[in-house]
């Protein structure tokens, strides 16, 4: 059978479209009846208490988890219904940054940055690159964008936590995705460095027209950098609003300790 062409046109198709989505881990329902549409260029901040389902939602958006029920369309395609090759093609447009950077610490920075290119490289090229780094110009450009131009060949474990988070961002930049999904990218950083990384994420999405979905524990950062704030509580959407409509009362309800607040 010939390969199926997967057209992607983010200008006319929502980046994400979720309808009545549930995700269960065994008997436990982590997300219940979530409906959400995210358009190109939005900066969506996911907030909510620990265990609310933010990481689960991000994993559904990058296709690493499947919905138990409901519909998830990513760039206009139901990922779960596509054959693996077509699924990977869509997933190449989705770059994920994790709190625990997922870097190989004893390797030079360039190798970690180049990991963002692996989806495009052959196995042979990837293997050669571990000895003779390939894609040097691209990696150097990305490191320049995150302010680490001088660290191309430095060891990753000699960098500070904030610099390592920047390397993780550079890795996503060389991937050049349409969407950056960031799961608590600043929770291990001090306030100044957190702001710095958020500023960078914002700048990169603005200057390159990318879409950002980021989960944050810091409500002030979410309100400052999000164009849209999604509040999740006990697996359900409590609100979905622009930052100027997110009132202190809503925030109080979102984080209330009583289960039926
Ligand atoms: N692999 C898993 N197996 C079983 N339960 C899970 C699994 N992953 C997450 N959960 C549960 O699903 C719920 C939602 O978890 P999730 O990690 O999405 O929350 P979160 O809002 O990202 O929390 P946090 O802010 O603490 O990171 C939690 O109750 C969690 O214990």
Grade residue 2 by pLDDT with cuts at 50, 70 and 90. Answer: very low
Question: Is the pLDDT reported for residue 16 higher than 90?
Answer: yes
User: Is the pLDDT at 25 greater than 50, yes or no?
Assistant: yes
| Cα–Cα distance measured from residue 187 to residue 200, given in angstroms and rounded to the nearest whole number | 15
235 Rama class: left (phi>0) / alpha (psi -120 to 50) / beta: left
Ordered by where they begin, the domains of the chain are 11-93+178-255 (3.40.50.300), 100-176 (no CATH)
Average pLDDT, the chain: 88
pLDDT at 194: 83
Mean pLDDT confidence for 201-222: 92
pLDDT greater than 90 at residue 107: no
* Gap between the terminal Cα atoms of the chain: 55
Determine the average pLDDT of the residues in 207-232: 94
Q: Which of 28, 57, 218, 234 to mutate to test the pocket of ligand 1 (most atoms within 8 A of CB)?
A: 28
Name, of 34-43, 75-84, 92-101, 141-150, the range with top average pLDDT.
34-43
CA 108 to centroid of ligand 1, rounded, Å = 33
CB of 15 closer than 8 Å to CB of 40: yes
Residue closest via CA to ligand 1's atom 29 equals: 51
Q: Which residue has the higher pLDDT, 6 or 21?
A: 21
- What is the reported pLDDT for 32? 97
Task: Report the C-alpha gap between 200 and 148 in whole angstroms.
Answer: 13
Q: Are 186 and 218 in contact (CB under 8 A)?
A: yes
DSSP assignment of 150-210, as one string?
A: GGTTSBGGGS-HHHHHHHHHHHHHHH--SEEEEESTTTTS-HHHHHHHHHHHHHHHHHHT-
- Quote the ligand 1 centre to 10 CA distance (angstroms): 30
- List Cα–Cα distances, 149 to 26, 76, 90, 137, in angstroms: 46, 37, 30, 11
- The pairing of strands 228-233 and 236-241 is antiparallel
Asked whether residue 164 carries a pLDDT value surpassing 50, the answer given is: yes
Tell whether ipTM is more than 0.95. yes
Percent of the chain with pLDDT over 90: 54
Q: What is the pLDDT of residue 169?
A: 87
Structure tokens at 170: 């550079």
pLDDT for the residue numbered 26: 95
- Region 196-217: mean pLDDT is 90
Least confident of 34-48, 103-117, 186-200, 232-246: 186-200
Whether 170 and 204 have beta carbons less than 8 Å apart is answered as no
Entry pTM? 0.87
Nearest CA to ligand 1 atom 9: 56
pLDDT category at 101 given cuts 50, 70, 90 is low
Confirm if 149 and 143 have CB atoms less than 8 A apart: yes
**Any residues with Cβ below 6 Å from ligand 1, and which?**
25, 28, 30, 48, 50-56
Atom of ligand 1 at shortest distance to CA of 58?
A: 18
Q: How far is the CA of 216 from the centre of ligand 1 (A)?
A: 14
């Amino acid at each position: 059978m010939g390969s199926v062409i997967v057209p992607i046109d983010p200008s006319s198709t929502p980046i994400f479209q979720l309808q009545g989505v549930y995700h269960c881990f065994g008997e436990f329902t982590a997300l219940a009846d979530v409906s959400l549409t995210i358009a190109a260029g939005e900066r969506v901040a996911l907030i909510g208490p620990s265990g609310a389902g933010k990481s689960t939602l991000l994993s559904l958006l990058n296709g690493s988890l499947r919905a138990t029920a409901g519909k998830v369309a990513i760039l206009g395609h139901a990922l779960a219904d596509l054959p693996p090759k077509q699924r990977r093609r869509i997933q190449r447009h989705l770059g994920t940054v994790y709190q625990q950077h997922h870097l190989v610490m004893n390797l030079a920075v360039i190798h970690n940055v180049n990991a963002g290119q692996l989806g495009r490289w052959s196995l042979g090229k990837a293997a050669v690159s571990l000895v003779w780094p390939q894609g040097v110009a691209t990696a150097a450009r990305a490191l320049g964008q995150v302010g680490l131009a001088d660290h191309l060949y430095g060891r990753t474990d000699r960098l500070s936590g904030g610099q390592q988070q920047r390397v993780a961002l550079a890795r996503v930049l060389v991937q050049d995705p349409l969407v950056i999904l960031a799961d608590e990218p600043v929770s291990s950083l001090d306030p100044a460095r957190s702001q710095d990384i958020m500023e960078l994420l914002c700048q990169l999405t603005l200057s390159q027209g990318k879409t950002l979905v980021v989960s944050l524990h810091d409500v002030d950062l979410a309100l400052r950098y999000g164009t849209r704030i999604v509040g999740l509580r006990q697996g359900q959407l409590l609100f979905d609003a622009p930052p100027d409509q997110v009132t202190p009362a809503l925030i109080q309800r979102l984080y209330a300790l009583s289960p039926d607040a």
